[in-house]
Amino acid sequence: MKIRFYNAKILTMVSNQDIFEGEVWVEDNRIIYVGPTRYSKDKWDKEIDCEGNVLMPGLKNAHTHSGMTAFRSLADDLNLQDWLNNEIFPREAKMTSEDVYHLTKLAILEYLTSGVTAIEDMYLTPETIADACIEMGMRCEIVSGLNKFGPTLEVLENRYKNLNGMNELIGFKMGVHAEYTCEKELLLKVNEMIHKYKAPLYVHMSETKSEVDECIERYGMTPVEFFDSLGLFDFGGVIYHGVWTTPNDRAILKKRNIIVVTNPGSNAKLASGIAPLNDYLKEGIPVAIGTDGPSSNNALDMFREMYLATVLGKIKEMDPTAIPAMEVLKMATVNGSLSLEHKDTDVLAKGKLADIIMIDLHQPNMQPVLNVAKNIVYSGCKSNVKMTMINGEILYYNGEFIGVDVEKIYDKAAKIMERLK
């Protein structure tokens, strides 16, 4: 399939490259041209007039729990530990792998409307998450949520070997849920596996002050210091949240090439705090953005997350110049790809994977078009997403999902929730 996008404003996200008017050409799942309008003798299977709208790399939701769509608006206005222990964990114990498959498909619909072309998903049954993503065309890195409740280390290793490379859309990352759900003995065994495969580690970390305080009480160290002392960060990795980090924590994160994925909506709703994004940026620690799960956020809307990342960062610093719009777009695109270890989805350029979104500028919230990046971050919303393309396939266009029975997905999710309530 060869597709020509023309009459577009192109925001490549290539460093120091300004937005320009031109074309993007796609062949199969790769970009073969990005640049000014030019004549081509090629025969196109499809030509799309972008009508002056924006083409840019897709947004990457760098931390989510897709299957938790079942619990949207079920357990709100609670602190994190009450929410987890009293409302979520008991219901998750009733969930089947088939439930996770159907609920992940529901989440993917929402990702597509939000211009998300790749996700970093930590949830219960990686195999059925993979099945749902392959069927729906979503690019996904599945992250292990290993903890004291399961699965076994043998299962973790088998998933690492079997899910990586099973499909071009799917990968699998070594991970643990959190320090407070893992005994030290378990973490030491995970550390052996990390070193066996020289793999980065992915983990929820320093989300709440009480989490940090309790870790210090147990081990005399913050979670970041504790994991580093065990060697768990020897090959880099990603921490989710990073709301409560110390200067020494940040020195470790910098030294170990750790990426921080901020989740401003979830952290604000659970009153966990505001992550020190400005400190991370000043110290050269890459920051990506995620929504967290749809039961703690409760939306899977990356536009809302981008807005909250910048405005909460400004409030924390009491500085309106902190966390500028272009830096936030970089978090949601380039740095998201970095956290996923997807080197070919970060920018629009020849040879990159065709994970592309179109932003509709012909809506009141995008007019006048004085600065596209600032419009997207400060006034943009998911209704501005006109198209989401993943791996060269258009999956969402003009408010329509391509080749998907949406009502069937909704109905299945409702029936699952009736059983889990």
What is the tens place of the pLDDT at every residue in 234-248?
999 999 999 999 999
Q: Express the helix, strand and coil content of the chain in percent, nearest 5 each.
A: 40, 25, 35
* Tens digits of residue pLDDT in 185-214: 999 999 999 999 999 999 999 999 999 999
* Tens digits of residue pLDDT in 370-385: 999 999 999 999 999 9
Distance (Å, rounded) from C-alpha 371 to C-alpha 19? 10
| pTM score, whole prediction | 0.97
Kindly tell me if the per-residue pLDDT of 421 is higher than 90: no
- φ/ψ of residue 258, rounded to 5: -90, 135
Distance (Å, rounded) from C-alpha 198 to C-alpha 153? 16
Distance (Å, rounded) from C-alpha 89 to C-alpha 420? 11
Strand partners, 8: 22
Distance (Å, rounded) from C-alpha 420 to C-alpha 414? 10
The overall average pLDDT reported for the chain is 97
Distance (Å, rounded) from C-alpha 121 to C-alpha 135? 16
- 287 pLDDT band, cuts 50/70/90, is very high
Closest CA to 176 of 108, 95, 233: 233
**pLDDT at residue number 84:** 84
Residues of the chain with CATH 3.20.20.140: 59-340
Q: Are 222 and 249 in contact (CB under 8 A)?
A: yes
Kindly tell me if the per-residue pLDDT of 161 is higher than 90: yes
What's the CATH class of domain 2-57+354-401? mainly beta
Q: Are 25 and 2 in contact (CB under 8 A)?
A: yes
Helices (H), 198-301: 209-219, 223-229, 247-255, 264-269, 277-282
Q: At what angle do helices 153-163 and 184-197 cross, to 10 degrees?
A: 30
Closest CA to 372 of 5, 91, 13, 7: 13
Regarding the domain delimited by 59-340, which CATH topology (the fold level of the hierarchy) does it fall under? TIM Barrel (3.20.20)
**pLDDT at residue number 82:** 87
Distance (Å, rounded) from C-alpha 262 to C-alpha 258? 13
Q: Are 255 and 28 in contact (CB under 8 A)?
A: no
Kindly tell me if the per-residue pLDDT of 363 is higher than 90: yes
- 118 pLDDT band, cuts 50/70/90, is very high
Distance (Å, rounded) from C-alpha 249 to C-alpha 244? 9
DSSP 24: E
**Contact partners, residue 38, CB within 8 Å, separation at least 6:** 23
- 81 pLDDT band, cuts 50/70/90, is confident
What mean pLDDT comes out for the span 25-35?
Answer: 98
Residues of the chain with CATH 2.30.40.10: 2-57+354-401
Kindly tell me if the per-residue pLDDT of 60 is higher than 90: yes
**pLDDT at residue number 167:** 98
**pLDDT at residue number 354:** 99
